[in-house]
Structure formats: C-alpha cells, structure tokens
Amino acid sequence: MANSEINSVNLIEKNSLGIIEIDYAPVNALSQGVRQGIVDGIEKFEASGEIKAIIIRCKSRTFIAGADIKEFGKPPTEPFLPDVVNRIENCNTPVIASLFGTSLGGGFEVALACHYRVALESAKVGLPEVNLGLIPGAGGTQRLPRVVGVGKALEMVTNGKHYRVNELSSTGLIDKLFPVDADLDEATESYVEELISSGQLVVKRVGEKSVETSDIDWDQEISNIKRKARGKDAPVVAAEVIRKSLENSIENGMKFEREAFLKLRESEQSAALRYAFAIERAAGKTDLTTVPLEVNNVGVIGAGNMGSGIATAFLTSGFQVQLIEQTAEALAAGMERIEKNLSSNVKRGRMSQSQFEECLSRVHISTEYESLSGSDLVIEAIFENIDIKKSVFSKLDSVTREDCILATNTSYLDINEIASVVNDPPRVIGMHFFSPANIMKLLEVVRAEKSSELALATAMSVGKKLGKMSVLVGVCFGFAGNRMYTRYGREIQQMLLEGASIEQIDKAMTNWGMAMGPLAVQDLSGIDIGHNARSAQPFPEHDPGYFRAAATMVENGRLGRKTGMGFYRYDEEGKKYADEAAESLIRTKATELGIQLRTFEDEEIVDRAILALISEGLALFKEGIVQRISDIDVIWLHGYGFPRHKGGPIFQAKQMGKLLVEQKLDALRDKESARIWPQVELSILNS
C-alpha cells in the first residue's frame, strides 16, 4: 500500500483500488485543498495502469458536507467545483462515492458525478443551498433530475431538506446500501472488488442520461414555490434552473446553473443567510469553561401553557419529567396539553404511536414539591408574580438536592431578587423559553449576578440537547429579547397614535418579511399580558404615548383573540377583520394626548420599527447583556419571526452602514427625545 498526502486528501493505492480519502475536519468541506486533492487523485489513478476503480471516501464524522462556506466572499480559486465534478464524471476509470453522515450541497454534487454511490442506511443527502440563499452550483440542479426524476429533484432543491438515503431507495440514487453498523470502508472495498471480479464494473455517467419528461405544470409549480419562499429568491431561481435541465445538455444546463449561482452568491439575501448560519454557531460558544452536569431528571413547576410546552420539549428529547401543580385538576389540564402537543407530532409524522406512549411514560405528576428531591434541574414556569416566585424558590431550596440547578422561566422579573431567597444563589439561573416552548427554537439562558458557571454551562448544554438555539444573556427588564420587543412595540404603538392604521402597520411589516404583524401578534398572545408586565415598571413620564393604544384596548375589554376582539375583531372561526371601533378608540386617545395626526408611508413604518430594534440592540451590547453583538440577531431570528433572509436587526444596521444609521437615529432623536432615542455606540457596526 502506498500513501501520499496532498493537503487534506490522502491518496491510497490498495490492490487494484485507488482511494481518494478526504480528511478535512470537521465536515470535509470542499476547500481549495480538498478540490485539488480530488482532481490530483483522479488524474493519478486514471493514468495508472494498475487501478481498476477509484473510491472517494471521507474520514471523521461525515462524507463531504458541501462547498467550504468560509471561502465564500473571498476571490474564487482553481480548481473550481463545477470543473472538479465534471472531471470526476469524465474519468475513464469507474469512480465510487462511499457515503455516510450528511452529504450536502457540493458534497452531494460530487457523489452525483461519481459512477456509483454506496451508503450506510443512516446516511443523509441533500442540496441545502437555498438555506444559504444559493442554488446548487456544481451540477446539482442538472444531475439530480436525471437520477431521482424532475418532481423529486424540484422538491429536494427548493426545500433544501436532508433526506435519508433509504427514503430515496426507489430512485436508483444508491447502488448499494449497507447496514448502519457496517464498517463502511471495508464494505465499500469488498463491494467494488466483487464488481471488478464479476466484470460488472462500468463507467456510467449521469450527465449522459436524458431527463425523463414529466407532467409538471411549471407556471403553477413556480408560483407555489414563490408563495412558500416568502420573499426568498433562491428557491424560485432553483426551480427555473431545474426547468432548463429538461431541454438542455448537461453542459448548457450547468452554464445556466453557474451563472445563477454566482449572481445569488453576490446577493444581500445570501449574505444574510450565510451570516445567520455563522452567528448561530457562534452563539453556542461562550466564555463558560466548566464541564456541564449530567441532567436526566427535570422538574417543571406549573402546568399551564408554558410549563406544559417546556415539559413537552424535555419529553421529546428523552428526559424524565416531574410535573408539579397546586391541584389535581391543574395537573390533569397540564397532562391534556402535553398529550395534545405530543399527538400533534404523531399527526405530522414526526413521532410514532409507540414513541408517543414512551414519551408519556416519562412524565410523572405530583402536587408535592418533595417529589423534586431527585431532580437535576428544576424549571419554574408559573405566572409572573415576584412574591409567589420567591416563595416557590424558597420551597425548592429546602426540597431539592444541593447540586440541583434552579431555573426560572420568568420573562421580565429580576432573577437576582428571586435568587436572594435561596441559601446558595449560584445555583439559580434563568431559562427563558418562548411560547410555544415545544416548538420555538430560542432559549435565553440568563446569567444572574451570582449564577455559577456550572449552572450556566449545564443550561447551555441542556438547551443543545433540546435542539434549542441557546443564547447567554444577562439580567435586565425583559432580558435581551423582550426588552427589544418592548422597544419595538413602543414604536409601533407610537406610530398608531400618530396616524398609521392597525392594518397598515401589520401589512408593512409582513410585506417586509416579518412572520406576523406586530399588532396581530399582540392579539394572539393577549394584549393584557404585556400590559400587566409593564405595570410592574413605573410609567415613563418622558413618553406620554407609551403603550397607550394597548392600554386603551385593555380598558375596553379588547384583550385580543381570547375576547374575540383586540386590535382586530375575530369571528367564531377565528377569522380576523379590521375593526373601525379599535381605530376610533386609538384616535380618541391620540387627540386626548394632543398628538397631531398624519399619514405614513410603509417604508417609514418599517424603518422606524427596525431602527428601534437596532438602537435597543446596540444598547444591550454596550451594557454587556449580550456577549456578542450578533447574538441580538440570533435572538430575533429564532424568537420573534424576523425574516432570516434579512439577517436580523444588526445585520440590517450593517447593511445600512454606520453613517446612515447615525443620521436616521439623530433625526428621530431630534423629533422625539434622547430619552427615547439615546446615544448609542455605533462603531461596532464597522466590525
């Protein structure tokens, strides 16, 4: 056996096999060195008279997971990926890809260019480029339809999801599947050797196949994709490029694909989506160095919507849950909610009936705090009242183990004050889930003044196990997310008083890309919830219009969907209607406050709302509530429906540029006051 190493690629000769072994941790991305190594391997083994087959395989945890995202934004270097995949396909010696882990993007395109594909049954493949605002750029849109059919390719390329290879077994994508526990390298080598000895191994090029015609109604399909894409360009472009595969040779199809790929790569949407990918990974990297505690048994106090959602999240991630409520009735209602949450997973095909039952078998209910004596972590999720929360924590102090971590799910209250009632405040932290807690990805892990590294590191690791996007934040009213949400809400409410209509505001924000209009959100969550939370804060004298529109709604019994009316009116089926009565209550209040009515352009509404977020986000960073400025964007992408292809408020600020943000904030400060639009440190926007 002869070995030679070219950068991160080993070229191994073994009997009549030439093995191109990629060893580029963590995910074998197609860096320049890897691309060069593959081409060198193909050239070398093809030229050798001894080699009868070439295997492309990977070390570490996965086959190639895509182009090297870190190279995007830098000048492209040869060999370019489309040339690499074409070189593989045109090789005169049969090439076999050996797949495991996740073969994604460029990695899957490499596999599609190979003449054979073998895989572990657990392997997944996918073309997730649309998630980065891109389309496949190395033949994926042209080769995949030739292998799995146009309909399936259209689905895979436009949704960007990962597919288990055994789900695609009817398509001929995989020539040989091996059991999950097989030794893949050995199994691949013996499979190939058998093909060689039986004379069956041939060069079969996907690019030479024609695309099977299909009866897709392209105009209809593209309009559906556009609707689902909600403002994202890449899925629509991907569909159009796949359409070209029907009437073009692979060479021409790849030309169209490349042009579209390069254009998208320069787009603001792709920059935002790639930024989102990077900041999400950065958020998990904290200054905590302590090894987390192992958590198996979790106590949840409160079985209302929040507590049940939290319990569901823990159950679906394999934890034992001890649920506590004051009465048997409240426990029964909580169990009903948990069952409903879990059965919706069954309905959506995310969980089998037996997994549903197994999950339910891990929840234990009690009205006695003593049953928390075996818990590793307890999360309090009762209503927002500091005195009651303090009494819960004092009980917890006496019944839980000394090393049990005590977390509160409070949205606004002072965790330092809550922690003051226990003997060992370092074990108290915040774990702020977002509703519905079994669905929303965001988790704010809150560091109180005395919280220990151990408690925080454990909460971050638990968050990861729950599949949450965990962000470490400090204590202030509303922490990072809700403090910004309050600031955003203030601006929306002020614009209502100044003359923008309820519908205009919601439409302007959703047309811009927000998942929901801010006023429809308030109706959904209950206008009284925020109203009550704000009543704990003194009324700001410098801001007479502060949430007056919301207060007016509450005073008039318009609490939102639950009362059939709020900012909107709702019929019995829950359908929403604009309501003149709500507008007129707001007009009356505005007149009372002496606010001059005026008209708004949608652009101004969006601008002011986003600037409010930018201003508050920068203040939070300056105060050290978030560790890094990009955490603000992670919070808004995952907790508040901020459009991912717009990157987040701070990304938006960076796109505007420091100068323009400064001018706009100055103008707003002049119009209102420095109390509402304080001076913020803008230099961070240059980094």
For ligand 3HC, the closer of residues 240 and 602 by Cβ is: 240
For ligand 3HC, the closer of residues 503 and 633 by Cβ is: 633
For ligand 3HC, the closer of residues 102 and 652 by Cβ is: 102
Nearest approach, Cβ of residue 261 and ligand 3HC (Å): 7
State the sign of the Cα–Cα–Cα–Cα dihedral 184, 190, 193, 199. negative
Nearest approach, Cβ of residue 248 and ligand 3HC (Å): 18
Active site residue 557: no
Amino acid at position 318, single letter:
G
- 186 burial (CB, 10 Å; 0-12 / 13-18 / 19+) is exposed
**Token duo for residue 268:** 């603001």
* CA–CA distance, 462 with 482 (Å, rounded to integer): 22
Of the residues 29, 53, 67, 313, which is catalytic? 67
| DSSP structure class, residue 280 | H
- 611 burial (CB, 10 Å; 0-12 / 13-18 / 19+) is buried
Of the residues 18, 107, 126, 129, which is catalytic? 129
> What residue spans of 576-674 are helical by DSSP H?
580-592, 602-622, 630-639, 649-656, 658-671
Active site residue 592: no
271 phi, psi to nearest 5 deg: -60, -45
Positions that interact with ligand 3HC (CB under 6 A): 26-27, 29, 65-70, 81, 102, 104-106, 109, 128-129, 132, 134, 136-138, 140, 281
Rg, C-alpha atoms of the chain = 28
Question: Strand, coil or helix: what is 542?
Answer: coil
Nearest approach, Cβ of residue 140 and ligand 3HC (Å): 6
State the sign of the Cα–Cα–Cα–Cα dihedral 671, 677, 683, 686. negative
Nearest approach, Cβ of residue 30 and ligand 3HC (Å): 7
Nearest approach, Cβ of residue 129 and ligand 3HC (Å): 5
E strands in 175-291: 176-178
| DSSP structure class, residue 291 | P
For ligand 3HC, the closer of residues 21 and 129 by Cβ is: 129
For ligand 3HC, the closer of residues 62 and 308 by Cβ is: 62
For ligand 3HC, the closer of residues 261 and 640 by Cβ is: 261
Of the residues 37, 105, 106, 617, which is catalytic? 106
Q: What is the largest CA-CA distance in the chain?
A: 92
For ligand 3HC, the closer of residues 26 and 594 by Cβ is: 26
Amino acid at position 518, single letter:
P
* CA–CA distance, 464 with 269 (Å, rounded to integer): 27
**Token duo for residue 528:** 């009284």
State the sign of the Cα–Cα–Cα–Cα dihedral 254, 256, 257, 263. positive
**Token duo for residue 103:** 């073969």
Nearest approach, Cβ of residue 239 and ligand 3HC (Å): 16
Nearest approach, Cβ of residue 637 and ligand 3HC (Å): 15
Active site residue 662: no
Residue 347 to residues 257, 312, 341, Cα–Cα distance (Å)? 38, 15, 10
* CA–CA distance, 392 with 369 (Å, rounded to integer): 9
Of the residues 53, 65, 66, 109, which is catalytic? 109
State the sign of the Cα–Cα–Cα–Cα dihedral 447, 453, 454, 458. positive
Nearest approach, Cβ of residue 105 and ligand 3HC (Å): 2
For ligand 3HC, the closer of residues 274 and 664 by Cβ is: 274
Show which residues are catalytic: 67, 106, 109, 129
